[in-house]
Amino acid sequence: MTIITCDHLEKVYPVAIKEPGFKGTLSHFFQRQHRLVKAVQSVTFEVEPGEVVGFLGPNGAGKTTTLKMLTGLIHPSGGQVNVAGQIPFRRSSAFLEKITLVMGQKQQLLWDLPALDSLRINAAVYKISPREFQYRVDELSEMLSLGGKLTQPVRKLSLGERMKAELLAALLHRPQVLFLDEPTLGLDVNAQVSVREFLRQYNHRYDATILLTSHYMADITALCDRVLLIHQGQLIYDGGLNQLMNRFAPYREVKLELMQTPDPITLEQYGEVEEITGREIRLLVRRETLTHTVSQILANLQVLDLTITDPPIEEIIRRVFQSGKVT
């Protein structure tokens, strides 16, 4: 049984066309014309209960529009969508009790009040008893390392503490499905790690389903085994993160430090030269020839240090979106 089902989901926006100047304004007023922008085009995927899925795409690709349709904030133009057995855009109480949406650039906590006051409002909305409310706040604040912070005005919390408090507020009713849109946006490295660890614990403890968008690839690699890639409103990949790397990056990155400054032309026989900085070189070598190539490098060059790694996931994703398809 799937908990999220999208079947040929579409969203089309009418955008007004207006010529510049007074004449264009007058014409626009009396005879308005529009063009149709396809923000999401025939997106189809399913998510199983308990999965943590990364949802990736460049700005304007349709990620947030899709999330808004999945959470019922906007009505789809076409296709079907079902989340936790509910039709999102009907916004029924049964649906709202099962999902939450966290957007890194938005906040629900009242700025001048302690976070605890906003949490009490949420508890009243979801009809959580005082005893159960206290238990959940204690449990989540311990998981988020927020002890003593919830009684301070939100404006006095650091950005990382505020984001943790926002997560606590969003999860107070223990939703089955979490839609997270850039939850670590603007956070420092330590705060990002803390939020990732909390999400991992929450997923394991409650078998929660998470659909995560982020421009920080460390969020995706730390939490997601499966990724969805959307480009220009179309889903271009649905599968494992490791499979994507193997499929779209059939090479390994070889970093060398040599005893002498190398001849760039000589290096080209070993692989694609990505960078040369003094005596340090970065090569891309095809996986199937890696063992032979490294043997040749060690035999023919005076190597001080050699490191073999996979190329950064950011580079792989960038190449996918540049091509607009996964080959």
Please report, for the chain, the start and end positions of each structural domain, with discontinuous segments joined by +. Answer: 4-11+41-245, 250-309
Look at residue 12 in the predicted model and tell me its pLDDT: 95
pLDDT above 80: residue 194: yes
Look at residue 326 in the predicted model and tell me its pLDDT: 65
Q: Which residue from 34, 43, 32 is spatially nearest to 10, judged by alpha carbons?
A: 43
Rounded-to-integer distance, Cα 183 and Cα 18, Å:
37
Residue 5 φ/ψ, nearest 5 degrees: -130, 120
Helix (H/G/I), strand (E/B), else coil: 173: coil
Alpha helices (H) along 127-178: 130-143, 159-171
**End-to-end CA, the chain:** 30
Cβ–Cβ under 8 Å, residues 306 and 271: no
Mean pLDDT of the chain: 90
Rounded-to-integer distance, Cα 50 and Cα 238, Å:
17
Residue 312 φ/ψ, nearest 5 degrees: -55, 140
- Name the token pair of 207: 């078998």
CATH homologous superfamily for the domain 4-11+41-245 = P-loop containing nucleotide triphosphate hydrolases (3.40.50.300)
Rounded-to-integer distance, Cα 161 and Cα 147, Å:
10
User: What is the enclosing helix (H) or strand (E) of 45?
Assistant: strand 33-47
Neighbouring C-beta atoms of residue 215, cutoff 10 Å: 15
- pLDDT bucket at 165, cuts 50 / 70 / 90: very high
Q: For residue 26, with 0-12 CB atoms within 10 Å meaning exposed, 13-18 middle and 19 or more buried, which class applies? A: exposed
Region 209-231: mean pLDDT is: 91
pLDDT tens-place string over residues 258-300: 998 888 888 889 988 888 888 899 998 988 899 999 999 999 9
Angle at alpha carbon of residue 111, lines to 123 and 105, rounded to 5°: 90
Look at residue 214 in the predicted model and tell me its pLDDT: 86
CATH of range 250-309; options 3.30.70.980, 3.40.50.10190, 3.30.300.30, 3.20.20.70: 3.30.70.980
Q: Which residue from 72, 12, 16, 6 is spatially nearest to 41, judged by alpha carbons?
A: 12
- pLDDT bucket at 327, cuts 50 / 70 / 90: low
Look at residue 169 in the predicted model and tell me its pLDDT: 94
- In the chain, what percentage of residues exceed pLDDT 90? 59
Region 306-318: mean pLDDT is: 79
For 95-99, 215-219, 240-244, 318-322, which range has the lowest pLDDT when averaged over its residues?
A: 318-322
Cβ–Cβ under 8 Å, residues 227 and 242: no
Look at residue 117 in the predicted model and tell me its pLDDT: 95
